[in-house]
Structures are given as C-alpha cells and as structure tokens.
Amino acid sequence: MSYEPIFDELPDTRFALNTGSGKLPAVGFGTFFDDPAATIDAVTQALQSGFRAIDCAERFGNEASVGAAVHAFLETGKARREDLFITSKLWNNNHHPQRVLPAFEASRQRLGLDYLDCYLIHTPFAFQAGDELHPRDAFAHILYDSGVTLIDTWRAMERLVDKGLCKSIGLSNVSLQALQDVVAVARIKPALVQVEAHPYLPEWELLQFCQQHGIVFQAYAPLGHGLEPSVLNEPVLNQMARRLQKTPAQIALAWAVQRGTAFVTQSTTLSHIQQNIDISTLPHRAMHEIRQDITHRVRFNSVNETGVHLFSSAPR
Ligand SMILES: NC(=O)c1ccc[n+]([C@@H]2O[C@H](COP(=O)([O-])OP(=O)(O)OC[C@H]3O[C@@H](n4cnc5c(N)ncnc54)[C@H](OP(=O)(O)O)[C@@H]3O)[C@@H](O)[C@H]2O)c1
C-alpha cells in the first residue's frame, strides 16, 4: 500500500491562545543545551530555518545565550519581535509568591526582552526557596517546601499578566489532576501546558481536557529525547516514513501537529533542524495507524514525579 503525501501549510500551523493575546506556532525549538556556544549556533540555525517559537527556562542556564541569538536574528530584519513566541519557565526554588516576579524579571533580562509571550511553572514541585536550584539535605535528598501550594504560585503568575509583563501563563510537567485543580480556581486560566509527549506517550486524556478548555498542549521530547527505546526506530513510523518519503522524525512531528498539539524539539544538527520544520500533513489513515498500532508506552523524563530533571534510559 502506498500513501500520496499532501504538501501543505502544516509547518505554519498556529494555535490561538485562550487569552486572545496571540497564537503559538505549532512548530517550536527548545534550548535545553549545556554549552553557550552550541546554544547560540542552534538557536540561530533554528530561526534561520523558520522556527518562530523558542522555548527557554531559567533551569536550562543559558537564557543569555538564547537572547543573544534572538537579538542578532532580529537585527537581520528577517523577523520582528512580534513574529516570535518566546517562552520561559519559573524553576522550583522560586515558587514562593514573593519570588515569582523577581525570577520572571531575571529571566526576561537575561533574554533581553521587553516581554515574554508565555511564562510557565516548570514543575508543580516547590523546592526550598533560595538560590540553590536543587537544595538537598545532608543525605542528598531534595528539600521540598510544603508551605507553598501550586495555587499560591499560580496567583503570583496571574499578577505578571496583570502587570503586562507576559502575555500568557501556563504549566509544565503537570498531571491531569493538578491541571484540573488550577483550572478550577484560576482567575486567568492556563493558556499553555507543556508536557512530555510522543507516540510512546500520547497523553490523550490530558490532550482532551486541554482541548475542552482551550488550553494549548505543547509536547516536549516529541522525538523521545534521543533515548532508548528509540521513538525514531519505531517500526510503524519507519514503514510509514518510507511510504511517504519522509523521515521517521518528520512523521512523528507531523502526527503531533495534526492531532492538535504544538511541539518543541531540539537539535544541534543543521539537517535535523531543517527537516523538523519541513513537515507535511499525513493521510487520515496514517494518523489512525499510529494511534492504533503503536501500543508501547514509555515516559523518559521522571521530572513530573519528583521535580528533578532525570531523563532515564541510556545517555544520548
Ligand atoms: N518542560 C520541561 O520540563 C522540559 C523537559 C525537557 C525538554 N523540554 C524542552 O523540550 C525541548 C526538546 O526536548 P528534547 O531534547 O527531549 O527533544 P527531542 O526533539 O525529542 O530530542 C532531541 C534529540 O533528538 C535528536 N534529533 C532531533 N531532530 C532529529 C531528527 N530530525 N532526526 C534524528 N534525530 C533528531 C537530537 O539529536 P541531534 O542534536 O543530533 O539532532 C537530540 O538527541 C528542550 O530543548 C526543552 O526546550 C522541556
């Protein structure tokens, strides 16, 4: 059986935010890189290749490098600030309401931007407040702070929107229950939820809740973070890729957008960056096949259970 690929505008898909403050490009580039020079190179290549959504975080430790690449690109005149969608995230040691504004301001200044398009609570876990990103006791156990709730932090996030400092707010690494709890009491509803999602972790239930509430679902690790068992070696995706003359990565990313999610992928390889934005609509039958035939389930990142980033499986 062969499929006729349909060439279209899938890479230009944008999801409207429930705040009315703009649209998130479905195709996004992540910046979880260790090295400042690699960060600048990768972000520059991503922007030049057409990515317009850039995902950052205080925890990634490289916002200044991302900001440098963004500013250099804006100076070329190939895009205006309003064409870009820049997100950053509040880390776990800053969940206390009085720490939210300073943490946000520090990220904004490192990025060198007047405003952020979205600011996310990176995980629902509050660590002990302070300068330590991972505060630990004498036994190296993480010190959590039970004195602050996710709702307390959310109220402080809402005030950032009130002040016009960021256009929208959201959550990352949340369970469906935690998201429901926030939505139930929020004055400003979450606009965006960013969680691990890929064909081995489709999170259909969470996606359905997001769609019912007009919340954009953004998948991170959409290619499985380069870990084993490799999403990119999945036989169903490989057979489909051969039939459609695309790569398995392009199939996984097209599937992500077509089922109604945005994604953030990352790469330091130019050919990968370029192919990750060169996606096209899959035939209806292929979408069905991915949902029906890929039954293997893997969560690679246990951050949503502990608040500590730990991609399990063999290192890349
Ligand atoms: N909210 C959170 O807690 C959280 C956690 C993790 C990540 N994130 C965000 O999500 C972003 C992406 O995360 P991720 O690294 O897990 O994404 P990913 O795109 O699933 O995995 C990236 C890996 O895939 C490889 N790759 C990329 N494109 C490829 C292609 N076309 N063909 C073959 N291999 C390809 C990359 O290697 P090469 O460099 O060789 O291409 C890299 O090893 C991060 O940068 C970050 O912004 C958020």
Q: Is 275 exposed, middle or buried (0-12, 13-18, 19+ CB in 10 A)?
A: middle
314, part of any domain: no
Question: Phi/psi class of residue 226: alpha, beta or left (left: φ > 0; alpha: ψ in -120 to 50)?
Answer: left
**Exposed e or buried b per residue across 65-93, where buried means at least 16 C-beta atoms within 10 angstroms of its C-beta:** bbbbbbeebeeeeeeeeeebbbbbbbbbb
80 located within any domain:
yes
Q: Tell me whether residue 5 is in a domain.
A: no
Is 2 a domain residue?
A: no
Q: What number does the ligand 1 atom closest to the CA of 55 have? A: 47
Residue 312 lies in a domain: no
Residue with the smallest CA separation from ligand 1 atom 39 is 267
Ligand 1 neighbourhood includes 266 CB (under 6 angstroms): yes
| pLDDT at residue 310, rounded to an integer | 80
Name the residue of 39, 196, 223, 276 whose CB sits within 8 Å of the most ligand 1 atoms, as the mutation to test its pocket: 223
The answer to whether residue 143 sits within a structural domain is yes
Range of the domain at 191: 10-306
- SS3 assignment, position 216: strand
pLDDT at 313: 64
Q: Is the CB of 316 under 6 A from ligand 1?
A: yes
Query: What is the chain's pLDDT, residue by residue, as a tens digit (316 residues)?
Result: 444 444 469 999 999 999 998 999 999 999 999 999 999 999 999 999 999 999 999 999 999 999 999 999 999 999 999 999 999 999 999 999 999 999 999 999 999 999 999 999 999 999 999 999 999 999 999 999 999 999 999 999 999 999 999 999 999 999 999 999 999 999 999 999 999 999 999 999 999 999 999 999 999 999 999 999 999 999 999 999 999 999 999 999 999 999 999 999 999 999 999 999 999 999 999 999 999 999 999 999 999 888 998 887 644 3
Domains held by the chain: number: 1
Here the CATH number for the domain that contains residue 77 is 3.20.20.100
| 4: in domain | no
d(CA 293, CA 288): 8
Counting ligand 1 atoms within 8 A of each CB, the residue from 266, 275, 278, 308 with the most, and so the one to mutate, is 266
3-state secondary structure of 131: coil
Q: How many CB atoms lie within 10 A of CB 42?
A: 24
Cα–Cα dist 230/298, whole Å: 10
Residue 1, pLDDT score: 44
